[in-house]
Amino acid sequence: MNRIALVIPTVDRLGGAEQQVLLLAKGLARRNWRVTIIALSGTGGVLPAELCLDRIDFLSLKMRKGLADPRGWWRFHRWFAQNKPDIVHAHLPHAAWFVRWSHLFASGCAVVDTVHTSATGTLGRKAGYRLSDWLTDTVTAVSAEAGQAYLAAGMVSRKHVVVLPNGIDTQTWRPDPTIRDVVRDELCLTDQFLWLAAGRLERVKDYPTLFRAFAAIRGSAQLVIAGTGALEPSLRRLANDLGIGKRVHFLGFVTDVRRWMQAADGFVLSSLWEGLSMGLLEAASCGLPAVATDVAGSREIILRDRTGFLATAGIVESLAAAMNRMAHTPKEVRYAMGNRARQRVVEHYDLEHILDRWESLYGELRERPAQRQLKQLRGV
């Protein structure tokens, strides 16, 4: 049985990267891989019990001082010696650095790490990637532009980078007209245009620009926001100051955002940067046309004017114009846009297809040491 460890800083908070790790873990487990999710810190809450039902192991290294906590390194190497995984796959910077430097003392496996954003970050992050690039076998990027950003910054070498996008279960995320009336009744909506935004309430999502754009568009549209974050109090105040407090609905943490995507008329993503938005993929898979900022990753998902509209990041007038255009697009045209959006996701981002690509990459990585050994024996 193939063994893999998926390493991530924490799963106590579930963002796009964490969601993708869970999908990858469950998909590989279905394909008879022995999967362990390893978190650098946190407890995972109720997640470990849920993972156990899918035959997925969970281990927290309980690191309380970041990468400077020696107990986490010791716990990992003890686990590694006992389990001897074929692949160790890290997600997000701290996990990537941890796995790379661990490779010095935990040999015999292939190491891969994934870049989930086009934002290259601080000088410290750049230095961390540059200094440890030689310790990884492959770096994957969730979008071409994310990979190019890290290449341009000198954070990864060209020989290491492979673009392998996020995947989504298109059979689970699909249109369902029967849900629409039920959900809209919860908000007492009749024919008002319903916008949905999903994502943590943090700076990168740029909700202030979204709120100002929403306040500027015509009509009596409603906006629902699925997500929590540190900026919620200030965003509530801003909505009231802009006079849209009664038309903006904060849903908080939503266990089933899918039903909102099946009920909404349009999805809106106002991010300042992205890697490859899971929310945008989920919306498209549900046949929901979108307005998104023209940033890396998003413009790889949206076909301009065919599956959605793009706006300049951080510019209220541009986002308002795109949202206004979507809201006043005839219903049958929006429906056709949504169908094209779903077809694009099915063709390029379906989870089973992405899992095939991961298994192919893992198989190639496992073969490399044997190929090198064979060449040495032959004197090549």
Over the stretch 147-170, which tens digit does the pLDDT of each residue have?
999 999 999 988 889 999 999 999
The whole-number average pLDDT for the span 356-374 is 77
Q: Inform me whether the pLDDT recorded for 261 exceeds 50.
A: yes
Percent pLDDT > 90 in the chain is: 82
Which of 361, 354, 358 has the alpha carbon at shortest distance from 167? 354
Over the stretch 85-111, which tens digit does the pLDDT of each residue have?
999 999 999 999 999 999 998 888 999
Q: Inform me whether the pLDDT recorded for 293 exceeds 70.
A: yes
Over the stretch 114-142, which tens digit does the pLDDT of each residue have?
999 999 989 999 999 999 999 999 999 99
Q: Is the dihedral of CA 327, 294, 164, 25 positive or negative?
A: negative
Say if residues 135 and 107 touch (Cβ distance below 8 Å): no
Average model confidence (pLDDT) across the chain: 92
Per-residue 3-state assignment (H helix, E strand, C coil) for the chain:
CCEEEEEECCCCCCCHHHHHHHHHHHHHHHCCCEEEEEECCCCCCCHHHHHHHCCEEEEECCCCECECCHHHHHHHHHHHHHHCCCEEEEECHHHHHHHHHHCCCCCCCEEEEEECCCCCCCHHHHHHHHHHHHHCCEEEECCHHHHHHHHHCCCCCCCCEEECCCCECCCCCCCCHHHHHHHHHHCCCCCCCEEEEECCCCHHHCHHHHHHHHHHCCCCCEEEEEECCCCHHHHHHHHHHCCCCCCEEEEECCCCCHHHHHHCCEEEECCCCCCCCHHHHHHHHCCCCEEEECCCCHHHHCCECCCEEEECCCCHHHHHHHHHHHHCCCHHHHHHHHHHHHHHHHHHCEHHHHHHHHHHHHHHHHHHHHHHHHHHHHCC
Say if residues 135 and 101 touch (Cβ distance below 8 Å): yes
For residues 156, 157, 159, 165, the Cα torsion angle rounded to the nearest 10 degrees is: 20
Q: Is the dihedral of CA 84, 87, 92, 98 positive or negative?
A: positive
pTM, entire model: 0.90
How many angstroms separate the CA atoms of 17 and 300, rounded?
18
Amino acid at 109: C
How many angstroms separate the CA atoms of 103 and 105, rounded?
5
Percent pLDDT > 70 in the chain is: 97
- The better pLDDT of the pair 371, 284 is held by 284
Q: Inform me whether the pLDDT recorded for 113 exceeds 50.
A: yes
Q: Domains in the chain, ordered, with CATH?
A: 3-167+350-378 (3.40.50.2000), 177-348 (3.40.50.2000)
The reported pLDDT for the residue numbered 380 is 41
Over the stretch 28-72, which tens digit does the pLDDT of each residue have?
999 999 999 999 999 988 999 999 999 999 999 999 888 889 999
Over the stretch 185-236, which tens digit does the pLDDT of each residue have?
887 788 889 999 999 999 999 999 999 999 998 878 999 999 999 999 999 9
